[in-house]
Amino acid sequence: MIKELIKKQIKKTGTYREVEIETQKLEKQIQTLDQVRQTQITALEKQLETSKNDKNKLNNQIETLQKDKNKLNNQIETLQKDKNKLNNQIETLQKDKNKLNNQIETLQKDKNKLNNQMQTLQKDKQALKKERPRLLGYSMKSRPRGVSADVGKPVILKYILENIKKNQKVLDVGFGSGVYGKLLRTFYYRYVDGIDVFDKHLEEFGLDLIYDNIYIENILEFEFEFYDLIIMGDVLEHIELEAAKKLLTKFIEEKKCDHLIVSIPFESEQGDVHENVHEIHLQDNVTAKYMEKHYPYLDLIDLYYNSELGNIKAVYIWNKDLKTNPTSSC
């Protein structure tokens, strides 16, 4: 087509040679343009390939970033949960701290109370030390109310010290002038109650300072829960035989005590003393055989002569570790 145009042009101009030269130039230009175009196409293809590769890289990077984002979100979620747990733990610790502070405050109050109690006890101890000479200074010869002789007391005291703890409860039956109560307080026994039917001279003898509780009542009618030790010092002879047997059986069978001490004079007659009819001996024919027959579960631990009254006195004990009891002895 170009040649046709050239021929026409030659015909018009008459200069064929010039046209031929121009044609060659044009063909070279066209060839050059083709080469340039091909080079550009090749370059574009390379750029396109590079762009595709870059796109793939970017897609991979985006995918990686998305994964990293998801990981970070998971980590953030985990951290948030951990934060919530820590907040809960802090709240719990704060509550525990408050509880501990309250406990410390309560303990401090208890400590202060104990200190006050110790001060009070110390004052009471000093007061008792001052009162002791007055409490122990009565003559047994005057005997204004029931007073048992000193003989036999060491054996009884030895048994008590070896078997009864200082914080255990003791009942002194027929306490009279409070001899056993005073002995127990001298050795710092803490809980000592007394029961007696005779209500005179209590303050005069300082018995209200000796006993924690004083019961003016007949022991046969006295109801109580439990004492670790019951002392019946010179009491059994003032009770009729059957009533006495029933009383001791009650103490033992109903588990009213773990230890029982009985001191009793042998073959001792006695009427009322200082208008106290309860001093009369209702068991005045007591002997070792008599005790073995009627109270076989009692264990004899001491027998001695009472020079003051001119009779023999015996000390018996029973405790929960002995195999004998009123039922098994029948």
Paired tokens of 62: 């985006």
Amino acid at position 115, single letter:
N
- With beta carbons less than 8 A apart as the criterion, state whether 328 and 297 touch: yes
Segment of 14-23, 159-168, 174-183, 204-213 carrying the highest mean pLDDT: 159-168
Give the tokens for residue 58.
């970017």
Number of domains in the chain: 2
| 8 A C-beta contact, residue 229 and residue 279 | no
Q: Would you say residue 37 lies in a domain?
A: yes
Query: Tokens representing 179?
Result: 């001899």
Say yes or no: 144 and 275 in one domain.
yes
205, 178 contact by CB (below 8 A): yes
- Lowest mean per-residue pLDDT among 7-16, 27-36, 235-244: 7-16
pLDDT at 137: 38
Instruction: Write the pLDDT tens digit of every residue in 45-58.
Output: 899 889 899 899 99
**Strands (E) located in the chain:** 169-173, 191-196, 213-216, 227-233, 257-266, 299-306, 311-319
Are 163 and 56 found together in one domain?
A: no
Q: Kindly report the pTM of this predicted structure.
A: 0.54
Q: 94 pairs with which residues across the strands?
A: none
Asked whether residue 4 is domain-assigned, the answer is no
Q: Is residue 207 part of a domain?
A: yes
Average pLDDT over residues 16-40: 84
Among 228, 236, 254, residue whose Cα is nearest residue 315: 236
311 and 254 inside one domain: yes
Q: Which of 148-157, 269-278, 279-288, 315-324 has the lowest mean pLDDT?
A: 269-278
Highest mean pLDDT among 105-119, 224-238, 278-292: 224-238
pLDDT of residue 132: 44
Do 145 and 47 share a structural domain?
no
Q: What is the pLDDT of residue 286?
A: 80
What's the pLDDT at 298?
93
Identify the pLDDT of residue 140. Answer: 35
In a domain, 116, yes or no: no
Instruction: Provide the CATH number for the domain around residue 235.
Output: 3.40.50.150
Residue burial 190-217, b: 16+ Cβ < 10 Å; e: rest: ebbbbbbbbeeebeebbbebbbeebbee
- Span between the terminal Cα atoms of the chain, in Å: 156
Q: Is the pLDDT of residue 70 over 80?
A: yes
48/190 same-domain check:
no
Distance CA 155, CA 313 (A): 12
Domain match, 150 and 259 both = yes
The percent of residues in the chain predicted with pLDDT above 70, rounded, is 75
d(CA 85, CA 83): 5
User: Do 210 and 135 contact (CB within 8 A), yes or no?
Assistant: yes
For 129-167, write each residue's pLDDT tens digit: 554 444 443 333 344 445 554 545 789 999 999 999 999
Task: Return the pLDDT at 300.
Answer: 94
8 A C-beta contact, residue 276 and residue 323: no
Domain for residue 25, yes or no? yes
Give me the amino acid identity at 40: Q
Closest alpha carbon to 290 in 267, 317, 263, 272: 267
Beta-carbon neighbour count of residue 42 at 10 Å?
Answer: 10
Position 158 scores a pLDDT of: 93
Q: What is the pLDDT of residue 142?
A: 40
Residue 276 has pLDDT above 90, yes or no: no
In a domain, 170, yes or no: yes
When comparing pLDDT for 255 and 143, which is higher? 255
- Residue 264's pLDDT band, with cuts at 50, 70 and 90, is confident
Q: Are residues 188 and 229 in the same domain?
A: yes
- Give residues with Cβ within 8 angstroms of 56, minimum separation 6: none
Domain co-membership, 102 together with 148: no
Measured CA to CA, the distance from residue 133 to residue 71 in angstroms comes to 90
Q: Is the pLDDT of residue 34 over 60?
A: yes
* Residue that finishes a domain, picked among 107, 128, 157: 107
Amino acid at position 261, single letter: I
Residues 196 and 313 in one domain: yes
Q: The domain containing residue 33 runs over which residues?
A: 18-107
Q: In this structure, are 145 and 103 located in the same domain?
A: no
Residue 261 confidence class, pLDDT cut points 50, 70, 90: very high
- The C-alpha atoms of residue 229 and residue 226 are separated, in whole angstroms, by 9
- Regarding whether 240 and 196 lie in a shared domain, the answer is yes
Residues 258 and 297 reside in one and the same domain: yes
Residue pair 330/293 in contact (Cβ under 8 Å)? The answer is no
Sequence-ordered list of residues with C-beta below 8 angstroms from that of 104, at least 6 positions apart, any chain: none
In a domain, 301, yes or no: yes
